[in-house]
Structure 1
Amino acid sequence: MKWLKFAWLNTLRNRRRSAVTATIAALGTAAILLAGGFALFTYQALAQSSARTTGHLIVGKPAQFERDEDTPLQHGLDDVDALKAKLMADDAVRQVLPRVEFSGLISNGEKSTVMLAAGIDPDAEFAVKGPFLTIKSGKVLPGGERNNIMLGEGLARSLKAAPGSSLTLLASTTEGALNAVDVTVVGVFSTGIADIDKRLVYIDVQSAQKLLVTQRVSTLGVFLDRMDSTPAAQARIQALLPQLAVQTWLDQATFYRSVKELYNRIFGALGLIIGVIVVFVVTNAMAMAIIERTREIGTLRALGTLPGQLVRSFALEGLLLGGSGALAGALLSVAVSVALLVFPVMMPPPPGRSVGYPLQVAIDPALYAGTLVAMLALATLASALVARTTVHKPVVDALAHV
């Protein structure tokens, strides 16, 4: 304890230099924590969004995930009600949503354009997923009614359609023939991604199956009680349905994986650069302190102080400088993170999207603990390495130092 007190008093001998060193360590720590917290928040938001879109688990035939279909629902699921009953028997399963995916043409009588359609169970879909769409006009698909659709904002604009408009859907049936059905627009929505809004159509499952002349569905989305249940539930359901493929939300979250890989590289490099800067600042401060105290070191050596004790003293000085700076940086990071919750800041729309999002920074205990430990270790190690050369200098040379 006396060595720690001794190191603390030594840091106060040149308060301006110590303050500058601690400030740079604080800013470096805060930068790492804020960047890392932003990345973690992004990962969490994208993970929740991906799981909410597809389901925590996606059940389908193996060919559905491996090969393209020659005709709609070629690799679709049969006996959907029986499959849903088996899946709902699992304690972790909260809801199972059928999905019919197909493409075709949509026409207003004067103009036809390509569509990407999704047949859904409206009541269950919006109850489980919540407000995953922004309704621009009209309402969401009503349950129990047939031949109603919702259009993406860009597609509605292209067709000059609005709630109440009558349109026609054309698609190939499961036998390869053409079929058409007249539908009524009940709502116009936006997903926040302009390219998707130019093509996407939502229709109820029964109307989609009638158009395609089939009772199949493309996949079943399985929603669980929590995200952490995904691996265990996948293993149970795969054992229950060995003839089918059970993928997780992560298997289909291409955008999530790409963003995570990119951010890991960017913020990893940022953290490395900041760590190097902090090491050099602490090293420079300790080197100056050691040079100024070379004769003092010689005197202590002459009085019998061991080199190891002096190295430990200087290492403790670096620990105090780096530790105080890292702690201040952590407090600054927490303050900024909380302030962003109280005073929201909107980010501009990222590439490919039409809406912005709130800037938030996650406060992750593991990230804070790891960063603080790393900063303490770097500052202590840098100080010890700088001190080793001088404390092992011959006592006579140290006493004669000018």
Structure 2
Amino acid sequence: MRIDFKWLALACRNAMRNRRRSLVTLAIAATGTAAALLGGGFALHTYESLAQASARDTGHLVLAAPGQFDGIDNMPLEHGLSGRAALTRELLAQPQVTRVLPRLQFSGLVSNGDKSEIFLGTGVDARQEFLVKGPFMKVEEGALLDDGGSTGTAPAHGPGIVLGKGLARILNARPGSSLTLMSTTTAGSLNAIDVTVTGIVSSGIADIDKRLAMVDLATAQELLVTDKVSYLSVYLDELEHSDAVGEAWRRQYAGRLEIRSWLEQAVFYQSVKGLYNRIFGFLGVIVLVIVLFAITNTQSMAVLERTREIGTLRAMGTTPGEVTRLFTLEGMVLGSGGAVLGMALAAGVALALVRLGIQMPPPPGRTGGYPLVVTVSPAMYAAAALAVTALAALASLLVSRKAANQPVVEALAHV
């Protein structure tokens, strides 16, 4: 349908004939659009935050020896990765790679002399590990492994260890406390090592904090009597490069390494995204249906009131298509106007939330809240405006077709 400016100007004037009804319709369309955009923006911010948390935790890409991801080990590090140093140098030579962090996962018992508790430990590169964690790991007390000397809490007895605050509470441990780690070596024998708590951290998830223990990689390898690691976590310059780089490496290292992206490892992220997509998608459909009914009602009343006018236009030579075009343009004016107002309202609320710094309560299973932030996505705003305008045009088209095609005499005789 070609839009002539004179028809558009006429549609704008007709749309505001009954100002009260048109303003109510605009308010409904604006409120519905803003609600859909705010809900979608909240979901997008949640996705972005969870994606960053997952990628920082596992790395954008995870490289391991064949069989490591199956989780079936008869002995510790049965499918461990050897030759770490050479592989790290090879990976760091690629331009998109910013960091390559080794990680050694192990488990066992940690004791304070009076009480023992199961722990899930990770041997890490202390100089880089906590840099990539960023805001997703909070230091509650003491210092991290790489800065203990500068804070005056350097280990006094044995290498350092960082505990989750839940595990520290169970063991009544504080920075400076001496503990003993016990685990099974790669040969199947029991080994123990004394460590000193340097810091207590929180991951934000209570169940993880009850078992979390982190030591330097050399300490973990000494405990397990090995030079292997569980896997290498590779961090790229951009999260979006993960799929392309991962696919290239799968071809390059086929048979030598297994490679998984952060998304394949992020079970929680995928579950939350699937749930939110269904919830906010359903709410979005409801909002669009409400907007559709509001514009349909407004245009139905306008067509009913102007039936004799339609008959007059037809008698003067106006075609049914031109009458339908006029009402369709009126609906588009109302729909696009409501969409623009809704976008402005949603953007204003998003900005206000950033300024106010409102905190959401902790989600189930987590120990800390998070800021209420709504993402302003140009693509989502454009899609919402297009959807509302298209629905308004469709509703007006369907409502006006019958009146535009009725006989001229019947239209002129309408009361």
1:235 pairs with one of 242, 247, 269 = 247
The answer for the alignment partner of 2:57 in structure 1 is 53
SS for the counterpart of 2:174 is: coil
The answer for the alignment partner of 1:149 in structure 2 is 161
Deviates more, 1:124-133 or 1:264-273: 124-133
1:272 pairs with one of 271, 281, 285 = 285
2:348 pairs with one of 331, 335, 350 = 335
The answer for the alignment partner of 1:127 in structure 2 is 131
The answer for the alignment partner of 1:7 in structure 2 is 11
Report the residue type matching 2:358 in the other structure: V
Give distance in 1, aligned partners of 2:53 and 2:311. 64
Query: Which residues in structure 2 correspond to 1:280-291 (within 5 Å)?
Result: 280-291=293-304
The answer for the alignment partner of 2:204 in structure 1 is 192
Q: Are the aligned partners of 2:104 and 2:124 in contact in 1 as well (CA < 8 Å)?
A: yes
The alignment status of 1:355 with 2:355, answered yes or no, reads: no
Deviates more, 1:127-136 or 1:68-77: 127-136
The answer for the alignment partner of 1:207 in structure 2 is 219
Deviation of 1:70 after TM superposition, in Å, equals 1.9
The answer for the alignment partner of 1:35 in structure 2 is 39
Identity between Structure 1 and Structure 2 (%):
55
Query: Which residues in structure 2 correspond to 1:161-200 (within 5 Å)?
Result: 161-200=173-212
Structure 2: tracts of 5 or more residues without a match: 150-154
Deviation of 1:66 after TM superposition, in Å, equals 1.6
Report the residue type matching 1:147 in the other structure: P
Report the residue type matching 2:61 in the other structure: L
1:93 pairs with one of 87, 90, 97 = 97
Give distance in 2, aligned partners of 1:184 and 1:71. 27
Give distance in 2, aligned partners of 1:98 and 1:239. 22
SS for the counterpart of 1:34 is: helix
Report the residue type matching 1:132 in the other structure: F
Deviation of 1:37 after TM superposition, in Å, equals 0.8
The answer for the alignment partner of 1:118 in structure 2 is 122
Deviation of 1:388 after TM superposition, in Å, equals 0.4
Residues 94-149 of structure 1: CA deviation (Å, up to 9, x unaligned):
11000000111111111111100011011021234334311111100137986210
The answer for the alignment partner of 1:297 in structure 2 is 310
Report the residue type matching 1:12 in the other structure: M
2:233 pairs with one of 213, 221, 230 = 221
Q: Are the aligned partners of 2:136 and 2:204 in contact in 1 as well (CA < 8 Å)?
A: no
Report the residue type matching 2:160 in the other structure: N
| Change in CA separation of 1:198 and 1:67 when aligned onto 2, cut-off 3 Å | closer
Q: Are the aligned partners of 1:46 and 1:256 in contact in 2 as well (CA < 8 Å)?
A: yes
Deviates more, 1:111-120 or 1:227-236: 227-236
Deviation of 1:79 after TM superposition, in Å, equals 1.0
Residues 186-224 of structure 1: CA deviation (Å, up to 9, x unaligned):
111111111111110011100001111111100000011
Report the residue type matching 2:248 in the other structure: R
Q: TM-score, normalised by structure 2?
A: 0.95
Q: Are the aligned partners of 1:87 and 1:237 in contact in 2 as well (CA < 8 Å)?
A: no
Q: Are the aligned partners of 1:58 and 1:249 in contact in 2 as well (CA < 8 Å)?
A: yes
Query: Which residues in structure 2 correspond to 1:385-400 (within 5 Å)?
Result: 385-400=398-413
SS for the counterpart of 1:62 is: coil
What is the RMSD of the two structures over their aligned residues, measured on CA atoms?
Answer: 1.3
Number of aligned residue pairs: 402
Q: Are the aligned partners of 2:139 and 2:199 in contact in 1 as well (CA < 8 Å)?
A: yes
Report the residue type matching 2:364 in the other structure: P
Give distance in 1, aligned partners of 2:187 and 2:160. 24
Residues 224-264 of structure 1: CA deviation (Å, up to 9, x unaligned):
11112212221333233221011110010001101111111
Residues 292-326 of structure 1: CA deviation (Å, up to 9, x unaligned):
11111111111111110000000011000111000
The answer for the alignment partner of 1:105 in structure 2 is 109
SS for the counterpart of 2:127 is: helix
Residues 299-358 of structure 1: CA deviation (Å, up to 9, x unaligned):
111111111000000001100011100000001111111111111110010111010000
Give distance in 2, aligned partners of 1:142 and 1:197. 20
SS for the counterpart of 2:179 is: strand
Deviation of 1:33 after TM superposition, in Å, equals 0.8
Q: Are the aligned partners of 1:97 and 1:120 in contact in 2 as well (CA < 8 Å)?
A: yes
SS for the counterpart of 2:374 is: coil
Report the residue type matching 2:227 in the other structure: Q
Give distance in 2, aligned partners of 1:129 and 1:109. 31
Give distance in 2, aligned partners of 1:84 and 1:237. 14
The answer for the alignment partner of 2:172 in structure 1 is 160
Deviates more, 1:134-143 or 1:248-257: 134-143
Q: TM-score, normalised by structure 1?
A: 0.98
Report the residue type matching 1:27 in the other structure: T
SS for the counterpart of 2:367 is: coil
Deviation of 1:85 after TM superposition, in Å, equals 1.0
